[in-house]
Structure 1
């Protein structure tokens, strides 16, 4: 009977997110994550074929976790305006609650070797983005206004705090709420 693994994939990806948050995406290497997790490098290579696979898995896990709540907000029972407000507030709250993972999203997929990811990760990402596009298209408001309300403004509000390493203040919730309400007319 094989002995159970001491480090799960999630343990290793949590350590990878911490490396990105503390030292930036360029510092994300198999060895850096192994050290951060206190794991042997063999554990890393058993789960990830190399740096690109590690980066891709980290990105996908992070994006999927973020979009799960974002999609839930966008598909709620309320009207378009309320769903947009909920999605904008989700971005702020999620980034506040998950600062290391927010740093991964802030770094961007390209900084995490997106061109070298295994093909199955690219397919997984395309499926995720198709789902998100369907949700956004199902909102009854002008697309540019929706994008500004639920993507551009919340991203801008959290970005400066994340870059400075500061906590996202409670006032950020009110800012994105007011902006979304101003952009999306009540129906």
Structure 2
């Protein structure tokens, strides 16, 4: 029986995300992750045979964690929960600054065309998001005059755009961004049905 791993795959992904947030995509190498964690190169390569495998897991894990937290927060969709959840995105970003950098950069930054086939198949995140979006629209549409596009914009695209703007101007999203999202989401979603 082998000895237990000193560094889990999650530890290595966490280090890669921190490197990305501090230094950008070019700095994310298997060697840099090994150095940051104190893991041997062999340990890193055992979990991630190449850089595209690591980049894929950085994006996929971050995206899934955000989606899971978002769904949990929204629960059974209502207008009130939708507005609160849209504003909550700022809290998540404050609590997860490095992961926020990953999401704000977008999947294309992580070169999905180079990912191993195993990362490109299965539950396609875009399809999962679209299906969830349809479910949310179905739940909220009877309670608002907002169009399906407006509902999705208020719940997801608006918070992401506001957070991205804050990050691009060099500051962490805060109360100002939270209130901006809340106010605009209310205007969009509180149109009586």
TM over 0.5: yes
Report the counterpart of residue 3 of structure 2 in structure 1: 3
| Range moving further from structure 2, 5-14 or 115-124 | 115-124
Separation (CA, whole Å) in 2 of partners of 1:83 and 1:27: 39
From 68, 82, 93, the equivalent of 1:95 is 93
Question: What does 1:25-174 align with in structure 2 at a 5 Å threshold?
Answer: 25-74=25-74, 76-79=75-78, 81-126=79-124, 128-138=125-135, 139=137, 140=141, 141-174=146-179
Total equivalences in the alignment: 184
Separation (CA, whole Å) in 2 of partners of 1:82 and 1:136: 17
| Range moving further from structure 2, 116-125 or 35-44 | 116-125
Please list the CA deviations of residues 12-66 of structure 1 after superposition, one character each: whole Å capped at 9, or x if unmatched: 0110000110011121111111111121111110000100000001111000000
Separation (CA, whole Å) in 2 of partners of 1:162 and 1:125: 29
Please list the CA deviations of residues 141-175 of structure 1 after superposition, one character each: whole Å capped at 9, or x if unmatched: 41220232122221121113323442222222221
| Range moving further from structure 2, 98-107 or 166-175 | 166-175
Unaligned runs of 5+ in 2: none
Separation (CA, whole Å) in 2 of partners of 1:24 and 1:110: 14
Q: Please, what TM-score do these two structures have when normalized by structure 2?
A: 0.87
Q: Please, what TM-score do these two structures have when normalized by structure 1?
A: 0.89
Separation (CA, whole Å) in 2 of partners of 1:125 and 1:174: 34
Q: For residues 173 and 132 of structure 1, do their structure 2 counterparts lie closer, same or farther at Cα, with a shift above 3 Å needed?
A: same
Structure 2 contact 166–173 (Cα < 8 Å) conserved: yes
Separation (CA, whole Å) in 1 of partners of 2:18 and 2:169: 16
Separation (CA, whole Å) in 2 of partners of 1:136 and 1:58: 23
Structure 2 contact 12–37 (Cα < 8 Å) conserved: yes
Structure 2 contact 15–33 (Cα < 8 Å) conserved: yes
